[in-house]
């Protein structure tokens, strides 16, 4: 049975974060001492590690809650439920990547167009590009 700081050291999440996760219903210590100290057993540790893996992939705490509820009763849940969560996350990641790549592309064009030197910025092509109306939000461009 681990105390909170021992669990913290073991899994690499701060005691604060572990208490925060508990407050949000993700993980709790199976045992509390008379004085209120948290004690985590092996199953608790595994659950925390599951949360950490899911978090490392990028799942939100909400997603993780759902995954945990599947985890405690796998018989009542299907692979499809799991892939749905995973696919939604992948879609989200892909759309963020697309947005960032559109920024990346514009930023690279701007950098390529500017001399980057010590001369004054009166004819700076980056400043000129920002004056023009050619730059659209990556969200607005539907095509």
- The residues that touch Zn ion, with contacts defined as CB under 5 A, are 79, 114-115, 124
- Site map 5..44 versus DNA, x via CB under 7 A: xx-------xxxx-xx--------x---xxxxxx------
CB of 51 to a second copy, least distance (A): 9
**Separation of alpha carbons 57 and 65, rounded Å:** 14
**Closest distance of CB 16 from DNA, Å:** 4
Could you give the CA distance from residue 39 to residue 28 in angstroms, rounded to a whole number? 9
Which DSSP state fits 12? T
- Taking residues 24 to 63 in sequence order and writing x for each that binds a second copy by CB under 8 A, - otherwise, the string is ----------------------x--xx--xxxxxx-----
Query: Going residue by residue from 51 to 90, which x/- string records binding to DNA, judged by CB under 7 A?
Result: ----x----xxx----------------------------
Q: Name the maximum alpha-carbon separation found in the chain.
A: 73
Q: What one-character DSSP code corresponds to residue 40?
A: B
User: Considering only residues 71-130, where is the footprint of a second copy by CB under 8 A?
Assistant: 71, 74-83, 86-87, 89-90, 93-94, 96-97, 100-101, 103-104, 106-108, 110-111, 114-122, 124, 126-127, 129-130
Give the integer Cα–Cα distance in Å for 100 and 94.
10
Distances (CA, A) of 101 to 36, 42, 104, 128: 50, 43, 5, 22
Cα angle at 71 between 69 and 72, to 5 degrees? Answer: 70
- Residue ranges binding DNA (CB under 7 A): 3-6, 14-17, 19-20, 29, 33-38, 55, 60-62
């Amino acid at each position: 049975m681990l105390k909170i700081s021992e669990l913290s050291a073991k899994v690499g999440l701060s005691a604060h974060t572990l208490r925060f996760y508990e407050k949000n219903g993700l993980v709790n210590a199976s045992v509390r001492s008379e004085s209120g100290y948290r004690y985590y057993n092996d199953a608790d540790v595994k659950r925390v590690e599951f949360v950490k893996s899911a978090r490392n992939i990028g799942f939100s705490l909400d997603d993780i809650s759902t995954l945990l509820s599947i985890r405690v009763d796998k018989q009542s849940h299907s692979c499809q439920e799991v892939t749905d969560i995973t696919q939604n996350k992948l879609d989200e990641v892909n759309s963020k990547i697309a947005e960032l790549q559109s920024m990346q592309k514009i930023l690279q064009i701007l950098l390529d167009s500017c001399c980057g030197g010590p001369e004054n910025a009166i004819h700076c092509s980056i400043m000129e590009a920002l004056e023009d109306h050619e730059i659209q939000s990556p969200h607005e461009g539907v095509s």
